[in-house]
Amino acid sequence: MEVNIAGTLLKLLQGDIVEQDVEAIVNAANTGLWGGSGVDGAIHRAGGPAIAAECRRIREEQGGCPTGRAVITSGGFLKARYVIHTVGPIWHGGRQGEDELLASAYRSSLQLARERGIKSLAFPSISTGAYRFPVERAAGIAMATVKDFLTTNPGTFSEVRFVLFSRPVLVAYEQALAEVLASG
C-alpha cells in the first residue's frame, strides 16, 4: 500500500528491514542499546560490529536511550547509511503511558532524521514483538503519529516506509492507515 501525504510517499510493505535501500532504518532497541533478539539482532548481525561499538560509546557518554527517545549510529555494512535506534515501551496492560511512549518513539525518530537531513527512512513495527504491545493498537498509533508529522512537516522526507515482517502485521497497518486517512 502506498499513499502520498503532503509530498511524502508513505509505503507499507512486507519484508526484512535490514535489506532496505533507504538512508536510515529504525531499530527497535532497548534502553541500554545492548542489542538483542528480533529486529535489533537482525540489524546488528547484518550491520557488523561498528554499530555495537557506536552504541557502546553512546551508552558510556549518555547512559543509553530512554524509552520514547531515539539516537543515531552509522549503518555499518547495511545498505542504509544510518541506523536510528529508538526504544518503544514494554506493554504492561495499557495504563502506564504505553500509548504516548510509543507515539513518542516514532516522533523522536522522525525528528532526529529531520535534524540530520535524512530524506528516506524505514520503520519496523516497534514494541509489537518481545515488548508485546498489541499490534492493532500499535498500528493505529504508528499511522496517526506519522501522518501528523508528515502533515506538519511537508517536504521533509521523500519516503517513509514501514517494513512489516509478516502478512498479518502488514494487514493491521494497512487497516490502521485506511482508518487514519478516512478520519481526515
Q: Which residues bind ligand AR6 (CB under 6 A)?
A: 16-18, 28-30, 36-40, 42, 88, 124-131, 163, 165, 169
Complex with ligand AR6: residue 106 or 165, whichever CB lies closer: 165
What would the grid cell of residue 161 be?
A: 516506509
**CB 151, min distance to ligand AR6, A:** 26
**CB 6, min distance to ligand AR6, A:** 26
Taking the C-alpha atoms of residue 134 and residue 136, their distance in angstroms, rounded to an integer, is 6
Strands 2-5 and 120-123: unpaired
Cross-strand pairs, 68: none
Taking the C-alpha atoms of residue 33 and residue 3, their distance in angstroms, rounded to an integer, is 33
**CB 152, min distance to ligand AR6, A:** 25
Based on the residue annotation, tell me whether 21 is a catalytic residue of this protein.
no
Complex with ligand AR6: residue 120 or 156, whichever CB lies closer: 120
Taking the C-alpha atoms of residue 64 and residue 67, their distance in angstroms, rounded to an integer, is 10
Enumerate the active-site residues.
40
